[in-house]
Amino acid sequence: MDELAHDIAARSLRIGSDGASPLVRRPTRAEAEAAVTVLLAWAGDDPAREGLIDTPGRVAKAFGELFAGYLEDPAEILETVFEEVAGYDEMVLVRDISFVSHCEHHMAPFFGKAHIAYFPEHGVVGLSKLARLVEIYARRLQTQETMTSQILAALDRFLTSRGAAVLVEAEHMCMSMRGVRKPGAVTATLRFSGCFRDDPAEQARFFALARGK
């Protein structure tokens, strides 16, 4: 069993070192389903019983949706900018962007809301694009801290602005349903760049608007 897992991993090396690049050689659908079958048996159930016979296929299909972010490019999401905005150069903020991601340590879900703001310099990006940016990084195996940093880095790299801010608030099921078992605990992570990083007054204004005050 360990040899099978090691063989699949060895033939599925990643491009680069950021841990988020597409696989050089993705395992086949059959290999993925076989791996799920092994996990079902390891959990103590019978993969051949009626209720589980189609589970490996369903799990493989679900993984394709839950982790679709590996196949999406943030540059494409942010490439279209609208310059005809009557000279608008104040803060743009989209708050309460709901998301569901999965912890890379236990593959348990974590879910919550992201709040994103930026100061446009040469135009604005479509508001739905910011929500799609969150989805790209949420639909990967993640830590909340990494996801927050990745969203800000993409904004800084692909969207011309005078500064950006990202606040992510989430509950982690690996903390709620296992381990310390503290449901309802919320983790907040944030990153600033540009004028947000350099001006505490803008940070305070961002927090106030993000929380609807």
161 forms beta bridges with 120
How many distinct helices (H) and strands (E) make up the chain? 9, 7
Answer for the pair 79, 158: CB distance below 8 angstroms, yes or no: yes
Catalytic pick among 31, 169, 171, 174: 174
195 has catalytic annotation: no
Catalytic pick among 106, 121, 169, 171: 106
- Cα distance between residue 78 and residue 179, in whole Å: 39
Catalytic pick among 76, 79, 105, 122: 105
Residue type at 128? Answer: S
Catalytic pick among 103, 169, 171, 203: 103
- Cα distance between residue 186 and residue 30, in whole Å: 38
Catalytic pick among 102, 115, 135, 172: 172
Answer for the pair 91, 64: CB distance below 8 angstroms, yes or no: no
105 has catalytic annotation: yes
172 has catalytic annotation: yes
- Cα distance between residue 196 and residue 204, in whole Å: 9
174 has catalytic annotation: yes
Catalytic pick among 6, 76, 79, 104: 104
Catalytic pick among 115, 144, 150, 195: 144
- Cα distance between residue 148 and residue 113, in whole Å: 11
Burial of 168 per CB tally in 10 Å (0-12, 13-18, 19+): buried
144 has catalytic annotation: yes
Active-site residues, by number, are 103-106, 144, 172, 174
